[in-house]
Amino acid sequence: MITLEVDGKIVEAKKDDTILSALKRAGIHVPTLCHMEGLPPSGACRLCVVEIDGAPGLTPSCSFPVAEGMKINTRSPRVIQARKTIVELLLANHPDDCLYCARNNHCELQSLAHNLGVRQRRLQGSKAQHDMDVGSPSIIRDPDKCILCGRCVRVCEEVQGVAAIDFAERGAATFISTAFNTGLNLSSCINCGQCVVVCPTGALTENSSVEEVAAALTDPDCFVVAQHAPAVSVTLAEEFDIKTGTDVDGAMVAALRRIGFDRVFDTSFTADLTIMEEGSELVHRIKNGGALPMLTSCSPGWIKFVEEFYPEFMPNLSTCKSPQQMMGAIIKSFFAQREALNPARIVSVSIMPCTAKKFECSRPEMTQNHVPDVDYVLTTRELGELLRRYGIDLAAMEPETADTPFGERSTAGKIFGASGGVMEAAVRSAHFLLTGREIPELKIQPLRGMQGCKELRVNIDGIELGAAVVSGLGNARKLLDEIRNGRDDLHFIEVMTCPGGCINGGGQPLNADIEAVKKRMKALYAIDSKEQLRVSHQNKWVQKLYDEFLGEPLGETSHRLLHTHYAKRDVLL
């Protein structure tokens, strides 16, 4: 450790620290718009400048290393004026529509202007004029609100390995664009929404369905049904300033009923159903020489990634629909028959942590007789907006349980929200499907945690299974390249598009750091540890669904409703 003097106080730092990382660890806030934790510094925004004794000018703290005895001033008049000028320059080329912007009160530029005392427009200039990109079912792009921080470009390329967007032109004409400046819907974008999460302004937002859902809730001819994903109940609390990691499942169900949903179902139920189908598919492939390793199909951004960049692995993808689409399919078949409802009258709304789910529900494969399995997807953020519009105080709601027949779920289905959860649930049931006995230890520690890559070797009655879990498509790319180059020791691979899984999805509450994501994950595993029903194959309502309607896993009815296919996509480079 070395010592620094910061604003007149002694601070300890590690020898390999940058000034910014040392200050952050010491609890000293320095503003930045371009810095991304875990990635090399870009030094693009210059907001993090500090004054160092003996240095001729101001120094960007994100990229400058610490040194023993260094004297740093983070709030001198010169530093404050430099930061204020940068914000004023950004505002000179920024729209004045804060009241109407989706990021109002969640905009980092707005917060900086407030904190630095920018109260009037001191600088004037011609503003950039770009067309909005509204073609994607998942993401809206408004280049006029872009401040060129580069965070979206970096997360798309360096974390997700997609590189759908980049800087175009030069100098004052620079803007962020897709290849040939086409719409996101024509690009290699996989709709994950990680760019939305890191964007500091309203330049990138989800393609909202709040108005359509609100209209359906007031239409007497519509029977409006909601399903909520496993990760949503442990993240929605943040939208209402409730402690991070709090499970608000019961309060959320009550709130959804209060605003007019006719039924509220838990997508964790069809996560259990997915395990039955996907586990049976894995066993069938192992016993009958099918394409291995089998790749999970729950994450729609991952599916599009394979279709675009690794089409040779499409036979390895599980044919199972995602839990969202399975729930949509059985709502408009089994549930519609049971309740004597016309499927065309049902408005099926799914509440997801994911912007790519909006793309998924719009896929032509996800329909039955031209009726979509799911009509609208709301992100966790959009649900927060909808509930606030109706005056709901989530903390004051008396908890209620989800509706049957799709309300009961195992905790195996619930942990789908965390990276490794799908694999853990699958191993628990695969052991039973292969041996007829329950696995001795339900908690599978090697599959838990925030690591981008995790592996497991398990012997089930002499069958040696190799399993891998990856989150973040940059990590998935590395693993697929290993398999492409000859690696053959894996049988089953879980891939989640977003780092850490759905708890860190592109539709989750904004401004969450890694510690908040860890708390969300911890909350899911806490639910798993304290409940009784912890394996998917023991879910009695899933068993009843097979007895009354589906027949058996991989059977004709289940295959027609719960399975699908994919096709190679051409990538516009």
What does the pLDDT look like over 235-265, one tens digit per residue? 999 999 999 999 999 999 999 999 999 999 9
For strands 2-6 and 71-73, give the pairing. parallel
**What tokens does 533 get?**
């029903």
Burial readout 155-189 (b: 16 or more C-beta within 10 A, e: otherwise): bbeebbbbebbeeeeeeeeeebbbbeeeebbebbb
**Cβ-count burial of 518 within 10 angstroms (0-12 exposed, 13-18 middle, 19+ buried)?**
middle
With a cut of 60, say whether residue 519 has pLDDT above it.
Answer: yes
Percent of the chain scored above 70 by pLDDT? 99
With a cut of 90, say whether residue 555 has pLDDT above it.
Answer: yes
**For all residues of the chain together, what is the average pLDDT?**
95
Selection from 573, 523, 480, 517 nearest residue 178 by Cα: 573
Whether residue 62 contacts residue 41, with contact meaning beta carbons closer than 8 Å, is answered with yes
Residue partners of 376: CB distance under 8 A and separation at least 6: 209, 212, 213, 216, 347, 348, 349, 350, 361
With a cut of 70, say whether residue 280 has pLDDT above it.
Answer: yes
Backbone angles phi, psi at 33, to 5 degrees: -115, -15
Question: Could you give the CA distance from residue 302 to residue 306 in angstroms, rounded to a whole number?
Answer: 6
With a cut of 70, say whether residue 295 has pLDDT above it.
Answer: yes
Whether residue 61 contacts residue 35, with contact meaning beta carbons closer than 8 Å, is answered with no
pLDDT digits (tens, 9 = 90+) for 411-432: 999 999 999 999 999 999 989 9
With a cut of 90, say whether residue 298 has pLDDT above it.
Answer: yes
Q: Integer distance in angstroms from the first to the last C-alpha of the chain? A: 47
Residue 153 neighbours by CB distance under 10 Å: 19
With a cut of 90, say whether residue 124 has pLDDT above it.
Answer: no
pLDDT digits (tens, 9 = 90+) for 5-19: 999 999 999 999 999
**Cβ-count burial of 56 within 10 angstroms (0-12 exposed, 13-18 middle, 19+ buried)?**
exposed
Q: How confident is the model at residue 434 (pLDDT cuts 50, 70, 90)?
A: confident
For strands 294-295 and 71-73, give the pairing. unpaired
With a cut of 80, say whether residue 502 has pLDDT above it.
Answer: yes
Residue partners of 130: CB distance under 8 A and separation at least 6: 142, 143, 144, 175
Q: What is the DSSP letter of 563?
A: B
Residue-level pLDDT at 462: 84
Sequence spans of domains, the chain: 2-75, 89-206, 211-562
Residue-level pLDDT at 539: 97
Rg (CA), the chain: 25
Considering all CA atoms of the chain, what is the largest pairwise distance in Å, rounded to the nearest integer? 80
Q: How confident is the model at residue 126 (pLDDT cuts 50, 70, 90)?
A: confident
With a cut of 80, say whether residue 573 has pLDDT above it.
Answer: no
With a cut of 80, say whether residue 571 has pLDDT above it.
Answer: no
Return the amino acid letter for 489: D
Selection from 571, 560, 539 nearest residue 271 by Cα: 539
Residue-level pLDDT at 531: 96
Return the amino acid letter for 325: Q
Calculate mean pLDDT across residues 330-353: 96
Whether residue 375 contacts residue 200, with contact meaning beta carbons closer than 8 Å, is answered with no
Q: Which residue has tokens 């108005």?
A: 211
Residue-level pLDDT at 313: 98
Q: What is the DSSP letter of 320?
A: B
Calculate mean pLDDT across residues 506-531: 96
Q: Which residue has tokens 């409802």?
A: 341
Write out the CATH class of domain 211-562: alpha beta
Question: Could you give the CA distance from residue 140 to residue 157 in angstroms, rounded to a whole number?
Answer: 19
Catalytic positions: 278, 281, 298, 318, 357, 360, 365, 502
**What tokens does 94 get?**
């920024």
Whether residue 321 contacts residue 297, with contact meaning beta carbons closer than 8 Å, is answered with yes
Cite the DSSP H helix spans in 218-299: 249-258, 267-288
Residue-level pLDDT at 572: 58
Question: Could you give the CA distance from residue 373 to residue 343 in angstroms, rounded to a whole number?
Answer: 9
Whether residue 562 contacts residue 331, with contact meaning beta carbons closer than 8 Å, is answered with no
Cite the DSSP H helix spans in 29-107: 77-92
Q: Which residue has tokens 């020791």?
A: 489
With a cut of 80, say whether residue 38 has pLDDT above it.
Answer: yes
Residue 220 neighbours by CB distance under 10 Å: 5
Whether residue 450 contacts residue 514, with contact meaning beta carbons closer than 8 Å, is answered with yes
| Angle, alpha carbons 35-37-39 (nearest 5°) | 80
Helix (H) or strand (E) holding 351: strand 346-352
* Architecture field, domain 2-75: Roll (3.10)
Write out the CATH class of domain 89-206: alpha beta
Helix/strand/coil for 127: coil
Give pTM, 2 decimals: 0.95
Cite the DSSP H helix spans in 93-178: 108-115, 151-154
